[in-house]
Chain A
Amino acid sequence: MAGHDLPETPVRFETHPERYRHWRLDLPAEHGGKVARLTLDIEEAGGLRAPDAPGGYTLKLNSYDLSVDIELADALQRIRFEHPEVRALLVTSGKERIFCSGANIYMLGTSSHGFKVNFCKYTNETRMGLEELSAEGGVPSLAALNGTASGGGYELAVTCDEIVLAEDGSSVVSLPECPLLAVLPGTGGLTRLVDKRKVRRDLADVFSTVAEGIRGKRAVEWGVIDEAPPRARFDEAVKRRLEAMVARSSRRPFRPVKLGPLGAERTEKGCRYRYVTLEVDAAARQATLTVEAPTGAEPETPGALAEAGDGAWAIRAFRELDDALLELRFNHPTVAVVALRTRGSAEAVLKVDRMLAAHAQDGLVREVVLQMRRVLKRLDLTAKSFYALVEPGSCFAGSLLELALAADRVYMKDAAGEPVSVALSPMNAGPLVMPNGLTRLQSRFLATPEKVGQVLALPGPLDTAAAVEAGLVTFAPDDLDWDDEVRLAFEERASLSPDAMTGMEASLRFGGPETMETKIFGRLTAWQNWIFQRPNAVGERGALTLYGKPERPHFDWRRC
Chain B
Amino acid sequence: MSVISQERIPNNVDLASDKRLQRALEAWQPSFIQWWKDMGPHGFQEDQVYLRTAISVEPDGWAHFDYVKMPVYRWGIFLADQVPDRRIGFGDLMGEPVWQQVPGEHRNALRRLIVTQGDTEPASVEQQRLLGRTCPSLYDLRNLFQVNVEEGRHLWAMVYLLHSYFGRDGREEAEEMLHRRSGDQNKPRILGAFNEPCTDWLSFFMFTYFTDRDGKYQLLALAESAFDPLSRTTRFMLTEEAHHMFVGETGVMRVVERTAQMMKEQKKDHPDDLRKLGLVDLPTVQRYLNLWYSVSLDLFGGEISSNAASSFAAGLKGRAQEDRYEDHRALTGTYAVPRFQNGALVTEDVPMRNAMNEVVRDAYIEDCQRGVDKWNRAIAAHGIPFELRLPSRRFHRAVGVHAGQHFDPEGNPVSAEAWQASQDAWLPSAADRAHVQGLMREPVMEPGKMASWIAAPKQGIKGRPVDFEYVRPRQA
Contact = CB atoms under 8 A, between A and B. Distances in A.
B53 to A, nearest CB: 29
Contacts of B103: 491, 495
Contact of B168 (A481, A487, A493, A494): A481
A493 B107 CA distance: 11
B107 A492 contact: yes
B19 interface: yes
A485 B105 contact: no
A481 B19 CA distance: 10
Contacts of A477: 167-168
A64 interface: no
A485 B107 contact: no
B204 to A, nearest CB: 40
Contacts of B23: 480
**Most chain B CB within a 10 A radius of its CB, from A475, A484, A491:** A484
A488 B20 contact: no
**Most chain A CB within a 10 A radius of its CB, from B102, B103, B167:** B167
Contacts of A491: 103-105, 107
Contact of A494 (B20, B102, B104, B167): B104
A1 interface: no
Contacts of B104: 487-495
B102 A488 contact: yes
B170 to A, nearest CB: 9
Contacts of A475: 168
Interface string B80-120: 00000000000000000000011111011000000000000
B165 interface: yes
Interface in A477-515: 477, 480-481, 484-485, 487-495
Given A480-B20, A492-B107, A485 B102 contact: no
B97 to A, nearest CB: 15
B165 A485 contact: no
Nearest to B21: A480
Interface string B163-197: 00101100000000000000000000000000000
Contacts of B19: 480
Contacts of B20: 480-481
Interface residues of A, number: 15
A492 B105 CA distance: 4
Interface in B328-361: none
Contacts of B101: 484, 487
A52 B165 CA distance: 55
A418 B167 CA distance: 20
Contact of B167 (A488, A490, A493): A488
Chain A at the B interface: mostly helix, strand, loop or mixed? Answer: helix
Contacts of B165: 484
Contacts of B167: 477, 481, 484-485, 488
Contacts of A481: 20, 167-168
Contacts of B107: 488, 491-492
A480 B165 CA distance: 11
A492 B102 CA distance: 10
A487 B20 CA distance: 16
A414 to B, nearest CB: 10
Contacts of A485: 167-168
Interface in A362-398: none
Nearest to B102: A488
A494 B107 CA distance: 13
A528 B103 CA distance: 34
Interface in B5-46: 19-20, 23
Contacts of A487: 101, 104
B201 to A, nearest CB: 45
A495 B105 contact: yes
A475 B169 CA distance: 11
B352 to A, nearest CB: 24
Contacts of B108: 492
A102 to B, nearest CB: 42
A330 B114 CA distance: 41
A485 B168 CA distance: 8
A495 B107 CA distance: 11
A165 B167 CA distance: 65
A412 to B, nearest CB: 13
Interface in A493-545: 493-495
Leading 7 A-B pairs by shortest Cβ distance: A491-B104, A495-B105, A492-B104, A480-B20, A488-B104, A481-B167, A485-B167
Interface of A: 475, 477, 480-481, 484-485, 487-495
30 contacts: A475-B168, A477-B168, A480-B20, A480-B23, A481-B20, A481-B168, A484-B101, A484-B165, A484-B167, A485-B167, A485-B168, A487-B104, A488-B102, A488-B104, A488-B107, A488-B167, A489-B104, A490-B104, A491-B104, A491-B105, A491-B107, A492-B105, A492-B107, A492-B108, A493-B104, A494-B104, A494-B105, A495-B103, A495-B104, A495-B105
Given A491-B103, A492-B104, A493-B104, 15 more contacts: A477-B168, A480-B23, A481-B20, A481-B167, A481-B168, A484-B165, A484-B167, A485-B168, A488-B102, A488-B167, A489-B104, A491-B104, A491-B107, A492-B107, A492-B108
